[in-house]
Chains A and B, each alone.
Chain A
Amino acid sequence: MKGRWAWKPSQWEMMLAILTVAAGAWSAQLSPYYLNLDQIADSTRQFIFPGLLALGLMVVVVLGEIDISLASTLAVGTVLFSKFSECHVQVWIALPIVIGICGLLGALNGLLVAGLRLPSLAVTLGTMGAYRGLAFIIGSERGYTDFDDSYLWVGSERVLGDILPISFILFAIASLAVGFVMHYTVFGRRCFAVGRNNDAAWFSGIKVRTIKIRAYTLAGALAAFAALVWVGQYGSARGDNADGAILFVVTAVVLGGVDINGGKGTVLGVVLALFLLGTIRNGMGLANIAGPIQTVVLGGLLTVGVLLPALSASTSHFLHLLLPRRSTPK
């Protein structure tokens, strides 16, 4: 290892990067409108809020757990923002409070999973429904659209010559922060350790329970940021916000090379996967390809993406058998 800060992109990440470029090329060929800086920058907005959720989910998945309630936490965030906006509270005062509440929701997930040791899929399946119901209860069925301008700023404004969305900057900061935490801090290292081998980590003195609760809280807090972006982007807050978005988030995390069983994965991989998915969706959308066909393409991509390691492993194994062995000892 060259040094503590030495970093080399893994094979999977390289493949994602190349696929993204190839997807960009393909999209450009599909539609003449694709290759436009303004357009591409604007299209990133489609995956900012799932991206923030994906960052949170990545931490949880690395721990070997899962959290499918993040989209519902986002909905709670948006309706909370709507309540604050109704009372004309400044967004910079509302934001920490919403982060706190969403973090609490995440902590509740963590408590149930780590404290009571319930299986995370079942727990977050339950809290997914419960939190969404909570969002409806807080927000009422009608929804809210009359946001103060300060709330809309993050999700809708652009800087640098009206090209770069502010939400993209937020996402970049968030990814760098999460990446730093996961790969260069003790907390991150411990997350990977717990994900790799829960028992061994426990034996080595890592407080598994605390780490899991913290991870879930972080995911909840990131969902609050995603809620802020949502409010600015869509200008509406209702209980059914982001209903079903969790599928895309899980796809992004998985495609990003994060092992669903925990212990492996990089933030860069998730970010690249988001870019890849976003590029493909954007390109297909501009070419007016029907939604279901887009779904098929994405589903196929996911299949190929996860089959590749198995395929390459078996092909190399195959080749290893076919090709003549080395006669010299290692």
Chain B
Amino acid sequence: MTDLGSSVGSPAGALPDPGESPVSSRGVAARRRLARQVALRNYTLLFVVAAVWVVFQALTGIFLSPRNLTLLALQSSITAMAAISAVMLIVTRNFDISVGSAVALVGVVAAVATSPTKLALDPLVGFALAMIVGIVLGAWNGLWVTRIGVPSFIVTLAGLLYFRGISMIITNGATVSPVPPAMRSFGNDSLGPGLSVAVVLLVFLAFAAFRISTIRRARDLGLLRDVRPVITRSLVPVGVAAAAAVWVAAGQGLPYLVLLLGGAAIAAEILMRRTPYGATLYAIGGNPEAARLAGIDVKKALFRNFLIAGVAYGLIGIALTSRINGAVPGSAGVGLELDAIAAAIIGGTSLAGGRGTIIGALLGAALMGSLNNGMSLMNVPTFYQDTARGVVLLVAVALDVSSRRRR
């Protein structure tokens, strides 16, 4: 049942021959135009982020220093991880507004388990417990959505309330601090510059090897004629990004949380683009009934979707607790769900489902993080920062909607 190639060959004889080549010249022109538009759309957000960076550099003089960019990446990492999870859910037309409270609860578990003032367990045991709790919370949300049929917005609205409530109950509202030095280090320190550069280069090389092999395969299957321009188009932008990352990493190394984000992003990208499961999620979001009638077990796929959100709760909860050196059940992760959804939407994720990319969510998180970071450098009060982010969200979605209408 695995070799589809030979199996589909058999009915060829009896089926009608194609009358004419399906690719008309008009079709090719339209296709090129569409490809250009799509490419432009994909890069729009990148240009916006670049423009914002240039403006802040001009205004502050230090925005584009390796030191500040490292800080920006660290500050954005938690929102970005939540945004990745948000994209995967919104693609299937589900919302998770419980993520902020869920990570607070996970953080409380991690802190209570490991803090010298509490159970003082080994940090690795704390990590494991936090991951288990995160996955259980995700499964809990998923059960209500898929078994009982309560809309995810309501299930996670309830979670927003009681996950935080439970965190407060466990600690009686008190902050649990500090966490062991190893955890604190994980949340705040960096891998050395040499190793960081090596990691960036390795990831780039692995990506390049993968892309070249898939592009060659596309040629072997007759999808492409000339591989060279495609390889160039595919590798040059990533190469530029890698060079920039090397430049930043060579300064002070890359924070562990940024490396965690990178790993999560790569895993999510592979899951969404290169696994049957990812294709299933896009199909469910595009048309749930069609997915069901194509034989997809929609409920199972959605339940797994919430399990993955649970993995994100675990990782983000640990990251947040490590970074702030303790669990603050009243305020940790407050508003994270909205930042995550905003980043996903700015990154082009469609609220109607079926569309959304991991890279878009990362850029969305980068844009919002840049606005915060840049305005902080300029000593703009936080009220103005919130206002600016709100306006950016509205404008981004408005642009997206109008560009889709024109299509």
Query: Bound pair: A and B?
Result: no
Please report A residues at the B interface, Cβ cutoff 8 Å: none
B residues with a Cβ closer than 8 A to A are none
